[in-house]
Amino acid sequence: MSEERPPLRIVISDPRAGGKVIRVRVKGVEDIEYTDEMRKTREQERRVLPIARISKTLAEKLSLGPASVITLRFRTSEGKTVKIPFKAVVADNIEEGEVQVNLELLGEAVGEIEAEAEAFRAKSWQVAVSDDVAIRLAGLEIGDEFDGSMVGLEGVRLKVRGGSDATGFPMHPGVPGSGKYRALLSGPPGFRPREKGERRRKTVRGRMIPDPRGERRKTALAQLNVVISYPES
């Protein structure tokens, strides 16, 4: 497998996210782990979400689901908005309106050791996976489900929704296999008609996730879109 090929990015969406946005005080601490795989400065290659300690009360108010992922939205002194997803860990002795994160990470994000932020249940986030995980995903098709533990989400089922390769060509649910094809399309993915009834022949990828060992850098699947699958009630 090519050393140059970038890791497959998996974009995870939570269809039940939304709702409350709560202002919190974010405190940087040194006893929360922060590894290269979590780094804010390497978002495209981040394999593990950084950790945020929160109170049980805050977790309940945000109605965190089984993924337990929150987004903290900061406003920097320059007026820029910075959003970071975190794996939320409920801990004792944390005040309701306080969130603790790694001190170095907070410095990278906003240049402070304490900061105000808005906290909410994350709607989407991304992680990069190793070739070993990408190989295990190979053969799945749009609509198939897999165990979220493969991407660090224990007890969660994820459903494949689509994806795109390094050149931007999307996977299409109506096209078999994992190769590229010229298909006549009347709508997305791959084509957005400007007029009613308009159809175009466009290049798309098949609905199957390819084995990365047979992919070249310029044509490799670069992004896989998945959604948390909840049991029907």
C-alpha span between 99 and 88 (Å, rounded): 9
To the nearest whole number, what is the mean pLDDT of the chain?
88
Contact 221, 165 (CB under 8 A): yes
Q: Is the pLDDT of residue 199 over 90?
A: no
Q: Is the pLDDT of residue 2 over 50?
A: no
Q: Is the pLDDT of residue 165 over 70?
A: yes
Q: Is 146 exposed, middle or buried (0-12, 13-18, 19+ CB in 10 A)?
A: middle
Q: What is the pLDDT of residue 202?
A: 72
Percent of the chain residues topping a pLDDT of 90: 62
Q: What is the pLDDT of residue 4?
A: 60
Q: What is the pLDDT of residue 190?
A: 63
**Token couple for 95:** 């005040």
pLDDT band at 193 (very low <50, low <70, confident <90, very high): low
As a whole number, mean pLDDT of residues 163-176 equals 88
Structural domains present in the chain: 18-122 (2.40.40.20), 127-229 (no CATH)
What is the b/e burial string over 14-43, where b = at least 16 CB atoms within 10 angstroms of the residue's CB? beebeeeeeebebbbeeebebeeebbbeee
Q: Is the pLDDT of residue 158 over 70?
A: yes
pTM recorded for the entire structure: 0.88
**Token couple for 76:** 């920097």
Give residue-wise pLDDT tens across range 53-86.
Answer: 999 999 999 999 899 999 999 998 888 899 999 9
- Residues forming a β-bridge with 98: 25
Give residue-wise pLDDT tens across range 88-133.
Answer: 999 999 998 999 999 999 999 999 999 999 999 999 999 999 989 9
Contact 214, 199 (CB under 8 A): no
Percent of the chain residues topping a pLDDT of 70: 88
